[in-house]
Amino acid sequence: MTVRKPFVGGNWKMNTTAATAAQLAVDVACGCDDLLGRADVAVFPPFPYLDTVGKHLGNGVRLGAQDLYHEAEGAFTGEVSAGMLIDVGVGVVLVGHSERRHVIGEGDELINCKARAALGAGLDIILCIGETIEQREAGQTQQVNVGQLMAGLEAVAADQMPRVTIAYEPVWAIGTGRTATPDDAQAVHAVIRSTLADRYDGAVAESTRIQYGGSVKANNAQSLFAEPDIDGGLIGGASLKADDFVTIVTAAAQASS
């Protein structure tokens, strides 16, 4: 059986200032230093702070971006390309985050363009998927997640999959304090993994990391990460407090040992 190294991401969303972002980077880097052998860690600050956060992180915790645009350059006012992200030290980028889908209005086709552009440029990606509460209550959880997964990975080759992480983030659990139960999350993660086996092969399915996101906190991370198909988490609110985030990374590191 493949042993997957857990991966924890801190998605800072549209929070922090230049000063608090720099301090948070220092505190996260320091707090995670001893844990990086057993868990991969990345933080995803707002675009304007990428450069400074990268400088404060040092070499261990990875620098991530929350989004990108799929064109390389040109008249795309307000957008940021993969090459620009790489220029400031970004190694991994979120694509298809719930708030991009449901607040900004991005669809599967655009998300797939972004995924392919990021991978093509050499970035790693975290492809985020997840159902709304209406879809869950209508019994469409599996169908929605499989659909977003397949669409997001359209034309992504098996040899690119080592650079792909999937984040299952049920929309109803994000920022609500209403975490999916470990059983509910595990059930969807297992479906995602078997979909990867069908779409690629067993080796890709076994080695791809699948994070859970949605109200992961210091006090519930351990039970979520104990599930066999949950390989770490994508953390919003709790990633803004270094102590809480380090506790969550510790839970992931312990789950792997």
Binding mask 27-66 for ligand 13P (x = CB under 6 A): ----------------------------------------
Applying CB under 6 A, which of residues 214, 220, 227, 230 lies at the interface with ligand 13P? 214
- Which residues, at least 6 apart from 95, have a Cβ–Cβ distance to it below 8 Å? 67, 68, 111, 114, 115, 118, 125, 126, 127, 128, 152
Single out the catalytic residue among 99, 106, 131, 169.
169
Question: Comparing C-alpha atoms, which of 94, 102, 98, 100 is closest to residue 118?
Answer: 94
97 is catalytic: yes
Single out the catalytic residue among 70, 97, 99, 131.
97
Nearer to ligand 13P, 31 or 200 (CB): 31
73 is catalytic: no
Tell me the closest approach of the beta carbon of residue 66 to ligand 13P, in angstroms.
9
Applying CB under 6 A, which of residues 152, 170, 213, 232 lies at the interface with ligand 13P? 213
**Using the rule CB under 6 A, is 234 a contact of ligand 13P?**
yes
**Using the rule CB under 6 A, is 174 a contact of ligand 13P?**
yes
Cα–Cα separations (whole angstroms), residue 35 to 128, 216, 244, 254: 25, 19, 14, 9
**Using the rule CB under 6 A, is 130 a contact of ligand 13P?**
no
- Which residues, at least 6 apart from 34, have a Cβ–Cβ distance to it below 8 Å? none
**Using the rule CB under 6 A, is 248 a contact of ligand 13P?**
no
8 Å CB contact between 232 and 256: no
Residues acting as catalytic residues: 97, 169
Give the binding site for ligand 13P (CB under 6 A): 11, 97-98, 169, 174-175, 213-216, 234-238
